[in-house]
Amino acid sequence: MGLEATCIARVGAQSSRGKAHLESEELIFRGDFRLAIPFREIHSAAAKDGELLIEHRGEKIALSLGEAAAKWAAKISHPRSRLEKLGVKRGMKVSVLGVDDPGFIRELREQAGELTQGRVGRDADLIFVAIDTRAALDRLRSLQAHLKPSGAIWTIREKGSAKVTESDVLAAGRAAGLVDTKVVSFSPTHTAEKFVIPLEKR
């Protein structure tokens, strides 16, 4: 989950009270004006006297966050890696089904203890499955049989696609008897939703 706060934002001579959100890859502010700043475009982030000070594309932006300013600055300056966001830890057994992302596969090979592609290994800690159609969601029920009790299934789908929506994925997971616990940005084009087996069924 991201961070959020009601604050005053200053950009040059403009100032506005509104809501700031710190997501996994961008800073968003909505007030009399709107800001959406990807971390990769932030030149510097620092906390001073209760303000988060951002330099972005030559502009200086200040958000009055009080004691939280230092925490926000640290998260912007040192964002978690993709594998950290997805809960991939060294030595895990990981299966990947249909996810076309060579960079992700390379990251997994460096971290996972056992990686299977195109099929599901036994007692997997994590299963990543591409969801390109609503019909593909039917796999969620059978995939959980290959999980460790404490494992998780991550569905990977295209952002903003009408073919498979967030509501479709969440409804299918719940219908399969799973619990949705997290949503993260998988890449600039894709979103990942996490499902686990309910505690009472483990």
Split at pLDDT 50, 70, 90, the class of 79 is confident
**Per-residue model confidence (pLDDT) at position 78:** 87
Instruction: State the pLDDT confidence band at 142, using cuts at 50, 70 and 90.
Output: very high
Instruction: Compute the half-sphere exposure of residue 29: CA atoms within 13 Å on the CB side of its CA.
Output: 23
Are 189 and 140 part of one and the same domain? yes
- Tell the residue number behind the tokens 């019909």, with chain if given: 135
pLDDT of residue 68: 95
Structural domain boundaries, residue 36: 3-77
pLDDT value of position 149? 94
Cross-strand bridge partners of residue 9: 16, 63
* Total number of domains constituting the chain: 2
pLDDT of residue 88: 96
Instruction: Tell me: do 188 and 92 sit in the same domain.
Output: yes
Q: Answer whether residue 1 shows pLDDT above 60.
A: no
* 52/100 same-domain check: no
Q: What's residue 144's pLDDT?
A: 92
Per-residue pLDDT of 156-184, as tens digits, reads 999 988 999 999 999 999 999 999 999 98
Residue 8 maps to which CATH number? Answer: 2.30.29.30
